[in-house]
Amino acid sequence: MRSIVVIGSSNTDMVVKTDHLPVPGETIIGGEFFMYPGGKGANQAVSAARLGGQVTLIAKIGDDIFGRQAIELIKSEGIDTSCLIADPVAASGVALITVDKNGENCITVASGSNARLLPADLKQFLPVIQNASIVLMQLEIPPATVNYVSDLCQRKNIRLILNPAPASHLPNDLYAGLDYITPNEREAEMLTGIKVEDMPSALRAAKALKHKGVKTVIITLGKQGALVVTDAFEKHIPSMVVHTLDTTGAGDVFNGALAFALANDMELTAAVAIACRAAAISVTRLGAQSSAPYFRELEEYL
């Protein structure tokens, strides 16, 4: 089994279903309330683990009820929790999520302990990171930590996937250390200044990211699947047509599934196809971690 190390966030997601998303100044009466484990790092770790990956999560959580619940839930998924750090000062991260009747969402995150996962914290876990087949990281942790991991992976020749979410500008010198970058349309626009509205504009954005030094660019396109651009080829990988219930966490499921497939030496386009299918299944369910499919479900869809 090839190991996957996920470095990122752990949150508790508090979700309210509504008829429509509120506009500024509007108060609306919502429907059902749900509370789920979340955070991009934890979501992606669960996604990879449910497909059969050997996963270690490196994250910082609060020494509180949400943090303790997170540890137990992550452990129950078969994920190695030995690299989770309890922060004695900051509270665990929380995300407030509103989901409308079409499955679209808006999310506000209080980062809490996630904002305190610093490079110094990772030094004790260097052997774990250096033995990984692939490292997966997002942007819900400090930029200094993202840069540190990128430099480490580049020096030690460890494959690195960066999911640049939430959308943010990145320093130009970071790109050359990335084997894979996986923005969605909005994140690709943030990184390149190119508004992604269709396949030609997605291709222009992907080529712009390639020009910055990334080896492989994978732009996720929601219902349209994903666009893969490498030095050797450009290819659109379609998704399945499904009934969308909740898009929360779909990108995280995609990235976890992609890490699983690449860690197990799947060919790139096959790996992206697996990730698209996993994400498509996830949007038919509520929640982030709770929506991630198991490998047997992928086989049923395949």
pLDDT one-digit tens code per residue, 31-83: 999 888 889 999 999 999 999 999 999 999 999 999 999 999 999 999 999 99
Residue 298: pLDDT over 90: no
Q: Which domains does the chain have, with CATH numbers?
A: 3-7+40-91+115-301 (3.40.1190.20)
| pLDDT given at position 186 | 96
Residues in a beta bridge with 80: 56
| pLDDT given at position 11 | 92
User: Which of 119-128, 170-179, 280-289 is the least confident region?
Assistant: 280-289
User: Which of 92-96, 117-121, 179-183, 199-203 is the least confident region?
Assistant: 92-96
Segment 146-156 shows an average pLDDT of 96
Residue 86: pLDDT over 90: yes
Q: Please answer whether residues 209 and 189 qualify as being in contact, where contact means their C-beta atoms are separated by less than 8 angstroms.
A: no
Cis peptide before 166 (omega within 30 of 0): yes
| pLDDT given at position 286 | 79
| pLDDT given at position 301 | 66
| pLDDT given at position 35 | 87
**Residue tagged active-site, from 100, 246, 252, 265:** 252
Burial 163-181, CB ≥16 within 10 A → b, else e: bbbeeeebeeebbebbbbb
| pLDDT given at position 302 | 58
Q: What order do you get walking across the sheet with 11-17 strand by strand?
A: 33-38, 11-17, 93-99, 105-110
Segment 148-152 shows an average pLDDT of 97
Residue 1: pLDDT over 60: no
Residue 238: pLDDT over 90: yes
| pLDDT given at position 299 | 80
Q: pLDDT tens digits for 169-213? A: 999 999 999 999 999 999 999 999 999 999 999 999 999 999 999
Q: pLDDT tens digits for 253-278? A: 999 999 999 999 999 999 999 999 99
Q: pLDDT tens digits for 9-35? A: 999 989 899 999 999 999 999 899 988
How many Cβ atoms sit within 10 Å of the Cβ of residue 193?
Answer: 9
Three-state DSSP state, 121? helix
Instruction: Supply 6's token pair.
Output: 């996920």
| pLDDT given at position 95 | 86
What average pLDDT is seen over the chain? 94
| pLDDT given at position 3 | 94
Question: Is 265 among the catalytic positions?
Answer: no
| pLDDT given at position 107 | 85
Split at pLDDT 50, 70, 90, the class of 246 is confident
Residue 2: pLDDT over 80: no
In this prediction the pTM is: 0.91
